Amino acid sequence: MAQPTLATQDPGRWIHDLPISLGEYREMLLANLIMIGEIPAPAFDEKARIEFVKQRFTECGLQKVSSGSAGNGLAVLPGRSEGRSILITAHTDTPFPDTVAHTLTVSSDRVTGPGVADNSLGLAALTTLPTIIEGLGLEFTHDLVFMADTRSLGKGNLEGLRSFLTRADIPILAGLSIEGVQLGRLDYISLATLGGEIECIAKTWNGIDGQDTIAALNQIITRLRNIPMPGEPLTRLILGSISGGTSYKTPANSATLRFQLRGESDAVVDGIAEEILTICEEMASNLDIDVDFDVIARTRAGGLSPGHPLVQNALSVQQSLGIGTIAPAHSSAASVFLEEGLPSLTVGVSLGENRGGVREYVEIEPTLKGLAQVIGILRAIDGGCCGED
Summarised one tens digit per residue, pLDDT across range 27-50 is 999 999 999 999 999 999 999 999
- For 90-112, what is the mean pLDDT? 95
Task: Inform me whether the pLDDT recorded for 209 exceeds 80.
Answer: no
Summarised one tens digit per residue, pLDDT across range 118-127 is 999 999 999 9
- Contact present, 234 and 263 (Cβ < 8 Å): yes
| pLDDT band per the 50, 70, 90 thresholds, residue 169 | confident
The overall pTM is greater than 0.75? yes
Summarised one tens digit per residue, pLDDT across range 217-248 is 999 999 999 999 999 999 999 999 999 988 88
**HSE-up (13 A, CA, CB side) for residue 52:** 21
What is the Cα Rg of the chain in Å? 23
CA 54 to chain centre: 19
- Contact present, 227 and 276 (Cβ < 8 Å): yes
DSSP string, 180-211: EE-TTBEE-EE-EEEEEEEEEE-S---GGGS-
- Three-class SS state of 89: strand
Which of 80, 84, 36, 79 has the alpha carbon at shortest distance from 57?
A: 36
Q: Residue 282: its pLDDT value, please?
A: 96
Task: Inform me whether the pLDDT recorded for 160 exceeds 80.
Answer: yes
| pLDDT band per the 50, 70, 90 thresholds, residue 360 | very high
Summarised one tens digit per residue, pLDDT across range 109-155 is 999 999 999 999 999 999 999 999 999 999 999 999 999 999 999 88
User: How do 352-353 and 361-363 pair as beta strands?
Assistant: antiparallel
Angle formed at CA 116 by CA 115 and CA 120, multiple of 5 degrees: 90
DSSP code, position 6: G
User: How do 189-190 and 302-303 pair as beta strands?
Assistant: antiparallel
Residue type, 237: L
Which of 49, 57, 56 has the alpha carbon at shortest distance from 96?
A: 49
Summarised one tens digit per residue, pLDDT across range 321-357 is 999 999 767 888 888 998 899 999 999 999 999 988 8
